[in-house]
Amino acid sequence: MTSSLTTKTVKTGIEAGVATLTLNRPKEMNSLDADTARLIIDAVESFAADTDVRVLVVAGEGPVFSAGGDFNWVLTWPGMDAITRRVGSDALMGAVQAIYDFPKPSIARVHGAAVGGGIGLMLACDFAIAASSVRFGLTSARNGLLAGIAIPVLIQAVGPRVARQLLMHGGLFDSATALRVGLVDQVVEAEALDETVATLASELKRGAPSVQALVKKLITEVDALAHDSQAADLLGEHVAHQCVTEEALEGMSAFLEKRRPKWAL
């Protein structure tokens, strides 16, 4: 199945089970405002409900992945009431959360630059692959702002200590540093970026959808528990259930019969 949709600020498409969400504000460096954030949420929710979608790729049109929050929009906030400002802030947080909660594998295809909230979108994905030329930055402190939408996923990716360092320093850094501290999972030459993302997406389509969705759900739940009998009880229950599902029976049969399971596109 192949389909595509272009709006003023977001482009979406589906091909061979891979959905692509592309930020489409190249003149604004794919910066984020409330309208763009809501379109991201709508697209992600649509992809989540579409059984033909197996993997999500998040990308940016033009020279950069995303420059984060749109300053031209944020500069209008002083003229807004507190409720309206909070609605705008919640929309940005919601876009990151929607990608983080997406029940299928997701990949960030990062080129040019990823700054502030752009890093939040990137880290909301399960995998981040960056071109070697990308510049990264959590620069909000140098602009008198707080990169709030990036903080939860940043802490998860790099830990509290490095998160504090990056947020307080506010400077730009290269892909090698991003890889070293755990912001990205792989760095490749720019000309290999699309092929690398496509290869990973193809590999992810070999996994059982129900197991991938369960892994994303359970990792969050187990991480919040004490690592004692609570975690063991929760995991034991899901392991016992998963072993008798249709996908488990198909997967084991396929292995014994030396063939691919039906879901492996």
- The verdict on domain 2-204 having CATH code 3.90.226.10 is yes
Say what the pLDDT of residue 235 is.
64
- How many Å separate Cα 210 from the centre of its chain? 19
Question: Which residues of the chain register pLDDT less than 70?
Answer: 1-6, 227-232, 235
**pTM here?**
0.90
Quickly tell me which residue has 């929710």 as its tokens.
45
Say what the pLDDT of residue 229 is.
65
Say what the pLDDT of residue 118 is.
96
| Long-range contacts of the stretch 153-157 (C-beta < 8 A, 24+) | 153/96, 153/100, 153/120, 153/123, 153/124, 154/119, 154/120, 154/123, 156/123, 157/123, 157/182, 157/183
Nearest CA among 127, 115, 140, 18 for reference residue 63:
115
Say what the pLDDT of residue 155 is.
92
Say what the pLDDT of residue 5 is.
66
Say what the pLDDT of residue 63 is.
97
Say what the pLDDT of residue 228 is.
65
**Buried/exposed 71-80: b ≥16 CB within 10 Å, e otherwise:** eebbeeeeee
CA distance 153 to 206: 26
CA distance 40 to 79: 26
Q: What DSSP element (H or E) covers 249?
A: helix 246-256
Q: Are strands 18-23 and 10-15 parallel, antiparallel or unpaired?
A: antiparallel
Angle between helices 34-49 and 82-101 (to 10 degrees): 30
